[in-house]
Amino acid sequence: MASSLKGKVVIVTGSSAGIGEGIALLLASRGANVNFCGRDKDRIKSSMWPPSGYRGP
């Protein structure tokens, strides 16, 4: 995976928890514009970038 994804737009399904959340946060940390997608609106809001205390990869 490229170290910089600045300017790229990605959609991550299942991004409210687990692997999907981890992938979404990784892509966001690399500069991508991430569209979070999942079934639980409240969990998605709590997963969105930047999470509190996140220090980066």
Spatial separation of the C-alpha atoms in residues 50 and 17, rounded to whole Å: 15
Residue 17 in any domain: the answer is yes
Residue 31 in any domain: the answer is yes
Average pLDDT of the segment spanning 34-57? 72
Can you give the pTM of this predicted structure? 0.70
Residue 16 in any domain: the answer is yes
Q: How confident is the model over 10-45, as pLDDT tens digits?
A: 999 988 888 998 898 888 888 888 888 888 888 887
21 vs 53, higher pLDDT: 21
Residue 32 in any domain: the answer is yes
Residue 56 in any domain: the answer is no
Residue 4 in any domain: the answer is no
* Inter-CA distances, 29 with 20, 39, 40, Å: 14, 23, 23
Residue 28 in any domain: the answer is yes
* Tally of structural domains, the chain: 1
Residue 26: both structure tokens together: 């990784």
Residue 19 in any domain: the answer is yes
* Domain range for 36: 9-47
